[in-house]
Structure 1
Amino acid sequence: MDSAISNQVLVFLICMYGGIFLGLFYDIYRIFRRIFRPKKKATYIEDALFWLICSLFVFSVIFLANYAELRFYTFLGFISGFYIYMKLFSFVFIRITIKTLRCIKRSMVGLFSFISSPFLLAYNIVARQINGVKNLLNFRKK
């Protein structure tokens, strides 16, 4: 195969992997937005940061793979990689990530409950004693 063609195929594949990474990054961003539900102003800032990071990533990949030469096949590589990721892996990644985050959340809640239960028990005992003393003092005032 001609050296120029093999180089173009390699650049196309690198850009495809870049598109797959952009799809993964987009899913992480969507999950983040779904969990934290930012307000309107924060959404504008997050969107601007997201696109800035994506733009820097695309420029870096094109610069490292093709010395920043803009060719049609580089954009086609990014678009096809992003499309392949969205059609084949996005749903699975989001499901697994959300299930993992829910499991972590349940574990953290359970751990917090386990750790805080002796403190809550001590608080309830002390609160009952204090309420008993208050009732006794109020009874004697009458």
Structure 2
Amino acid sequence: MNLTLNEQWLTLGLMLLSGIGMGIVFDGYRVVSHELRFAKWTLPLFDLLYWAAATLVVFQVLSAGNNGEVRAYVFLGLVIGVVVYFLMLSRSVIASVRWLIQAVRYMIGLVIRLFDIFIVRPLLILYKLAKVLLGFLVALTIFSCKIVVQLIRPFWLLSRWLLRPLWQPVAKRLQPIIAGWGLPAKASKLISQVTGWWKRTFGRSS
């Protein structure tokens, strides 16, 4: 398939831009891998991915420009684009990528600091205040209960003294009934059973 002169120049221009794009991506990948300190064993893998992606993109551009035909000027355009990039644009791109990485790091640090200032620290302050308030309320409740007990104690002693003549006959009649229930013996038997079960169950494993 013969291409017109305009199509050939268009393809040459597209290859030149592809070469420049390959240089930009290569420098960007190199700076990012250095700044983020990728593991050394991952670098060959990323190199392989880079060249695979670059080949695919160049092929797509070539297909769009001259239906995938490989001519000498295709490689010439790529070489010119790469050379022009590394002579004229490489330093600026590297500096821009480094600046972008620093800006992203600064923004992440700023977000973390703002999160700490406006969310974490207020929550810690509220927690400490709630803890102090709860301790104060507990202390106040205990103090109030003690005061109430001290206030009620004289009335309780007076009531017990006044009701003793009425309570003693009732207690004498209930005492044989309660004694017949055998509560102490039953409690002791229950404790012995629980103790024996505990020794049989957990004593063997130890």
Shorter-chain-normalised TM-score: which range? Answer: 0.7 to 0.9
Asked if residue 29 in structure 1 is aligned to residue 29 in structure 2, the reply is: yes
Specify the alignment match of 1:134 in structure 2: none
Consecutive unaligned residues of structure 1, counting only runs of 5 or more, are 130-142
Q: How many Å separate the matches in 2 of 1:59 and 1:100? A: 30
Specify the alignment match of 2:89 in structure 1: 89
Identity percentage over the alignment? 22
What is the number of equivalent residue pairs in this alignment?
A: 127
Specify the alignment match of 1:78 in structure 2: 78
Max radius of gyration: which structure?
2
CA RMSD of aligned residues (A): 2.4
Compute the TM-score of the two structures, normalised by the length of structure 1: 0.75
One-letter amino acid matched to 2:81 = G
Q: How many Å separate the matches in 2 of 1:6 and 1:77? A: 15
Shift of 1:66: 1.5
Conserved 8 A contact 2:7-2:65: no
Matches within 5 A, 1:122-141: 123=124, 126=128
- Go from structure 1 to structure 2 and tell me whether the alpha carbon gap of 1:112 and 1:71 turns closer, same or farther (over 3 Å shift): same
Moved more, 63-72 or 73-82: 63-72
One-letter amino acid matched to 2:114 = F
Shift of 1:97: 2.3
Specify the alignment match of 1:108 in structure 2: 108
Greater relative CO (CA pairs within 8 A, separation 6+)? 1
- SS, match of residue 68 in structure 1: coil
Q: Deviations over 1:75-120 (max 9, x none)?
A: 0101101111121112112212212321231232123112213524
Specify the alignment match of 2:117 in structure 1: 117
Q: How many Å separate the matches in 2 of 1:87 and 1:93? A: 12
Structure 1 runs of 4+ with >3 Å offset: 120-126
Q: How many Å separate the matches in 1 of 2:31 and 2:22? A: 14
